[in-house]
Structure 1
Amino acid sequence: MLPKTEQFLRILVVGLLFFGLQWARAQNGDPILIKGKVVEQGSGEPIAFATVMAADNETKKPITGTTTADDGTFSFETTANNFYVEIGFLGFQTKTFGQPATRSSTMDLGTVALSEDAEQLEEVVVAGEISRTEFKLDKRVFNVGKDLSSTGASALEVLNNVPSVNVNIEGQVSLRGSQGVQMLINGKPSIIASEEGNALGTITADMIERVEVITNPSAKYDAEGTSGIINIVLKKDERKGLNGSISVNTGTPAGHSVGISLNRRTEKFNLFSQIGVGVRDIPTDIENRNLNLEDNTSVVSTGTEHRNEDYYNLVLGADYHINDLNVLTLSGNFALEMEDQPSTTDFAEYDGANSLVSQWQRTEVTDARNPKFQYELQYKKNFDEDDDEHTLLFSGLGNFFAKDQSSEFFDATVGGEDMDSQQQTRTDFKEAVFTFKLDYTNPLTDEVTIETGAQYVLNDVSNDYEVNNYENGTYVNDPGLTNVFEYNQKVLGVYGTGSYEGKKWGVKGGLRLEHTDLGTYLATTGESNDQDYVNFFPSAHTSYKFSDKVSLQAGYSKRIYRPRMWDLNPFFNIRNNYSIRQGNPELEPEFTDSYEITSIYILGKASLNLGVYHRYTTDVIERVSTFEDNVSTYRPENIGTNKATGVEFNAKYSPLKWLTLNGDFNYSSFTRDGVFDSQIFDFTGDQWSSKLMTKVKLPADFDFEMTGNYQSSYRTVQSEMEDMAYLDLGLRKNILKGKAVLNLSIRDLFASRISESLVAQTDFEVYNRRQRGRFVAFGFSYGFGKGEAMQYSGQRRRR
């Protein structure tokens, strides 16, 4: 028998429920079926995934609703008694319908035609035009817009527009003036981003969604890369229906390409593909001068190196949504480069009195076939439908790269002493990289998150290199330059991080442990070099938000730069046999402690980012030049320590609706301490770089853009690098109501992007000059799909 109080409460609850149901029935009538079809006004084409909702007349809040099917039809039921129906889709004007005066079982709206909303379309276009930077706790995110100077450009040109990042004329990427950057594609290592692959040029600007710049990575990330991590995130559109884009580009020097991107999303599957085909010619004017200061003899070479490429790139992938909590992804990428390198170099040798001794011409004929293949299997599990952050992610990634190259060199005497000769080289290069990752993220509360995981990377390389000299009517093998170089590296890493992020203050700390097992082997001579070491890599980050307009970030991390395969490979490059680059199999890794403080300010129409940083690096790797018989040989060596302190400033300002300014400035000073072969390399120096982009909206839907770049001169252990300034221009015209775009871009307008260096030692001098010259490109791009598919703005994709 229940106490009287509990009996009374139960009777009261039952009574309230009964009267509540009766009141609800009085408010809501019998179900009404609402149906119809949504099409585009004018064309009559159906609009899929338009939003149709019934909303309360008084509160204006949604009651129920649906989205249209592929054929534009819709139907749903409501029991509401005081409602209206609203139909809308991004880029189109919304239409509203009141409920019928007489209630019936069906409300048939018939065919509803939506007209385009010019203002909405303009807002979407403007939002997608300008690349912009967002700041996270431990990284900066550069969302790639439609920057005009990058039209038809490769990923390297896009990177050169990212704050803090510079790409030199050789395609080497540096972050805050320092190389040793770890390049990732979609958060994972990729042969496309590796120095060996040299394939970033196969990624075009319109394939990139965003670039993440991580100057102080947390322990979650691979510790590789002393100056930080650059992660290129490619587009994988997940909006329902069929979406896609096509782009066609042409330019001079020869640069012609066609790219197609397609995406099809259903309830269970997201299918995505990209295909690109192109040809390009990359001519480089070169000048080298080797001077022996002991006897004043010299060798001077000038010429043009060509790199002609036909390239093909195919990406196929699928996401399978097993259910709301589990997604399986399988993707593959195949790329092929066909290289032709016809180059001619004029040589002249002078004696101590500066009289011509000999003059000859060296002609190169090189053909190469470079296939690349990548596949990935990824499984992602969400543990809670309401929490996207509680996840388990496993990925297995395989990268394969090969180079089958043959070269012939012909030296023909023009005057003076006989220098006639012939050489042949053959390269059979194969690389396989396997990466396995397991990451677990658990937000324990709204403020506290823990992360843990492991990564295992296996790198297996074989380089079969052969040199033959033409002697007495036949080619004879040169055993001093012929060998098989094998490189095997295994890196196992485990990590754990914890973070707290409140409304004002956040902090994140972590620790990573990595074990490296590296071995190199010269098969022909039997020489080997093995390295085995274990390292801890701590990290710490914090941020404080003073207001919506002012915030502060600080971070620390320890990094490693492991010598790459080409740093270790001792084979000579004899393209210019008076200027040779050679690897060093005994190189040790670099280690860097990196500290930084960054402040962010939002001041009306301006956003500012000011930061200071300090890096301390041990066992610094520098290329050292040695000199013998007027032949300069460059070889990397571990030389001492480096202390670098710098300041960085980024700003964006839009004083007028038609004018936007973006600026980037970086200054650093450094102190070098080191000794090599009894020679002391102690010195101090500094360097700075700046970029300014000006964008102007012109009448008749034209946009104009200018980007100026400057890099100061600076010192290395032996060299003086000259400064460099260059200007890029872009012009764009929107057509077909913004669904198609015409672009014109000019990179290096004044042909002033020249790389010059001088190695000045007591007994020799070596001068090098390289210039790519002006590039002009014209492009056309068109997007198709459900209204907004053409807007590849780098913004977060709508599902």
Structure 2
Amino acid sequence: MKRVLIFAVVNILFFNILTAQPGSGQHGGAGDFKGEVSGQIIEKHGSKPIEYASITLFKMRDTSLVTGTISDAKGYFKMADVPGGRYFLRVDFIGFVRYSTEIMVNPKNPAVNIGVVKLEPFTQQLGEVTVMEQKPLVEFSLDKKVINVEQNIVADGGSATDILRNTPAVSVDMDGNVSLRGSTNVKILIDGKPSTLSSNPADALEQIPASSVQSIEIITNPSAKYDPEGMTGILNIITKKEKRNGVNGMASIGYGTWEKYNGSLNLNYRVNKINLFAGYDFRSEQREGYRSHKREMTRNDTVTYYDIYSKTERDVLSNSVRGGFDYDINPFNSLTLSVNYRNGGHPGFSDGNYLIKDYNYNIISDYSRDETSVKDDNISTDYSFNYRKKFKQPLHTLGFDAYYSRGNFNEEERFTEEYYYPLISGLNQKSIDLSNRQNLVLQSDYVYPLSENMKLEAGLKASFKEMDSDYKFYNFDTLFSDYTLTALSNHFIYNDEVYAGY
């Protein structure tokens, strides 16, 4: 909308310049004296400031254009270095009646303030008009950038990862790892709440279909309530919620190249103060990628060259089921209860060739390494309860959130290495990782706006985390033709309790 207004204002100023008569070269008898003209432009009904209003100044003697400007976000304007003389001032803005007044700038009245100008809306009887609003792809606010997924063609298929690949300041590598402003230390939130999937952002984004995402918030300067210590930023994934009354449903199915399939079904029933919602998403995709690295490393004045070539293929599969309800107690109080279940994985393999040379380009080592993901099962369930209280003052809110999530991860990978130079025995290894994670968070937040650009935030938070990771690493024993457990295996149990306030 701002772009349209700016374009219109520029056209008005341009038209005024073209239609103005050449000046006589005089300054109304005031010599070389210079003054200023200022004021404020608002709407007559509602007293809302008008931004980008066109203010132009013309000489009374010959109606030639002297200067012009536009109003700021609060409706104020100022024109400096105005030669002394008698003028008429004109205010124009699309949809409002033009305003004109006479002013005098002289040494006795060097700073002319015309006060508050209230523009009258221009009314005209029209036929039926259909107004359609479309959100921009990217919106900016004081503390975050919002990516509206509905305006992204990727929303017709793919995952949240595909959306981020086309997002400024965000990078996603071939393995789905996300980095924000060059750092991979990114926190993943879903509807403002943590998930067990946040321990592996690549898996989290791959298992969320783009069709179920309304927007993605990129928060690069998070407040204390997000526990931002050590974090480069936060990616908050906002899922879709239907707001229309009655029964609503939407189903979609898609197919793309590289054996890419996706489908979704969303149902919603809203009556009076209660809203029930449920949905299912499915996605299957085959991915193939190639990577080439050339690296020069100097250590203790010794130069070593590395040439690495690799190929990766993965089968991505994900299912997501969600449901819950919203209850609007009254216009100022509401609560939400929801459940979200996901399962999926991306088994596949990676083949790599490694060539290492010395400073004379003599081969030091030449070998290949294959990594195969035999099993990759990720299952997570999130439970969420939210209460919100709104006060009469805009942005004045009190909230309470309770969410519990648990995830089970079962992964098995196999590694083989074959040496071409020197001719030594290769490796045959495998790893099995069985992990269980649980996370319970209780949090209350209070927000009080102090001004347009300042607000007070306060809150309490209690967090409980449990993780049980049983990692086993095996070497293949050619004597017994079987895998044997190695000392690299470990069983890691972690419990964490945090109580905080801000």
TM interval, shorter chain, is: 0.5 to 0.7
Does residue 362 (structure 1) correspond to residue 370 (structure 2)? The answer is yes
Aligned residue runs from structure 1 range 242-261, under 5 A = 242-261=247-266
Aligned counterpart for 2:227 among listed residues 218, 222, 229 = 222
Separation of aligned partners in 2, 1:183 and 1:444: 29
Counterpart in the other structure of 2:338: 331
Counterpart in the other structure of 2:71: none
Q: Indicate how the Cα distance of structure 1 residues 149 and 335 shifts in structure 2: closer, same or farther if over 3 A, else same.
A: closer
Q: Deviations over 1:550-580 (max 9, x none)?
A: xxxxxxxxxxxxxxxxxxxxxxxxxxxxxxx
Separation of aligned partners in 1, 2:166 and 2:389: 36
Separation of aligned partners in 1, 2:388 and 2:272: 17
Counterpart in the other structure of 2:321: 314
Aligned counterpart for 2:501 among listed residues 494, 509, 524 = 494
Q: Indicate how the Cα distance of structure 1 residues 470 and 390 shifts in structure 2: closer, same or farther if over 3 A, else same.
A: same
Contact residue 431 and residue 459 of structure 1 kept, 8 A: yes
Q: Indicate how the Cα distance of structure 1 residues 348 and 227 shifts in structure 2: closer, same or farther if over 3 A, else same.
A: closer
Separation of aligned partners in 1, 2:139 and 2:183: 21
Separation of aligned partners in 2, 1:290 and 1:348: 11
Contact residue 307 and residue 356 of structure 2 kept, 8 A: yes
The one-letter amino acid of 1:258's match is G
Q: Indicate how the Cα distance of structure 1 residues 229 and 370 shifts in structure 2: closer, same or farther if over 3 A, else same.
A: closer
The one-letter amino acid of 1:345's match is G
TM-score (norm 2): 0.64
How big is the alpha-carbon RMSD for the aligned residues of Structure 1 and Structure 2?
3.6
Report how many residues are paired: 372
The one-letter amino acid of 2:309's match is T
Counterpart in the other structure of 2:287: 282
Separation of aligned partners in 2, 1:337 and 1:457: 27
Separation of aligned partners in 2, 1:172 and 1:415: 33
How far the C-alpha of 1:205 sits from its partner, in A, is 2.9
Q: Kindly indicate whether structure 1 or structure 2 has the higher relative contact order, using CA contacts under 8 Å at least 6 residues apart.
A: 1
Q: Indicate how the Cα distance of structure 1 residues 151 and 393 shifts in structure 2: closer, same or farther if over 3 A, else same.
A: same
Does residue 341 (structure 1) correspond to residue 341 (structure 2)? The answer is no
Separation of aligned partners in 2, 1:140 and 1:439: 21
Contact residue 362 and residue 409 of structure 1 kept, 8 A: yes
Aligned partner of residue 151 in structure 2, secondary structure: coil
Counterpart in the other structure of 2:139: 133
Aligned residue runs from structure 1 range 741-756, under 5 A = none
Contact residue 158 and residue 283 of structure 2 kept, 8 A: no
How far the C-alpha of 1:316 sits from its partner, in A, is 0.9
Aligned partner of residue 199 in structure 1, secondary structure: helix
Contact residue 372 and residue 402 of structure 1 kept, 8 A: yes
Separation of aligned partners in 2, 1:494 and 1:212: 24
Aligned residue runs from structure 1 range 147-296, under 5 A = 147-148=152-153, 151-195=156-200, 198-287=203-292
How far the C-alpha of 1:480 sits from its partner, in A, is 3.4
Structure 2 residue runs without a partner (length 5+): 1-126
How far the C-alpha of 1:129 sits from its partner, in A, is 6.7
How far the C-alpha of 1:200 sits from its partner, in A, is 0.8
Q: Indicate how the Cα distance of structure 1 residues 179 and 452 shifts in structure 2: closer, same or farther if over 3 A, else same.
A: same
How far the C-alpha of 1:163 sits from its partner, in A, is 4.4
Aligned residue runs from structure 1 range 624-663, under 5 A = none
Separation of aligned partners in 1, 2:254 and 2:128: 28
Separation of aligned partners in 1, 2:427 and 2:128: 69
The one-letter amino acid of 2:204's match is A
Separation of aligned partners in 2, 1:422 and 1:362: 10
Separation of aligned partners in 1, 2:260 and 2:445: 41
How far the C-alpha of 1:128 sits from its partner, in A, is 2.9
How far the C-alpha of 1:347 sits from its partner, in A, is 5.0
How far the C-alpha of 1:215 sits from its partner, in A, is 3.0
Counterpart in the other structure of 1:305: 312
Separation of aligned partners in 2, 1:389 and 1:467: 53
Counterpart in the other structure of 1:380: 388
Aligned partner of residue 198 in structure 1, secondary structure: helix
Aligned residue runs from structure 1 range 427-438, under 5 A = 427-438=433-444
Contact residue 410 and residue 420 of structure 1 kept, 8 A: yes
Separation of aligned partners in 2, 1:314 and 1:337: 12
Separation of aligned partners in 1, 2:302 and 2:161: 43
Aligned residue runs from structure 1 range 83-102, under 5 A = none
How far the C-alpha of 1:277 sits from its partner, in A, is 0.9
Please, which moves more after superposition, 189-198 or 355-364? 355-364
Separation of aligned partners in 2, 1:407 and 1:478: 14
Separation of aligned partners in 1, 2:378 and 2:253: 24
Aligned residue runs from structure 1 range 98-117, under 5 A = none
Separation of aligned partners in 2, 1:179 and 1:447: 30
Aligned counterpart for 1:422 among listed residues 428, 433, 453 = 428
Separation of aligned partners in 1, 2:401 and 2:191: 12
The one-letter amino acid of 1:482's match is S
The one-letter amino acid of 2:497's match is K
TM-score (norm 1): 0.42
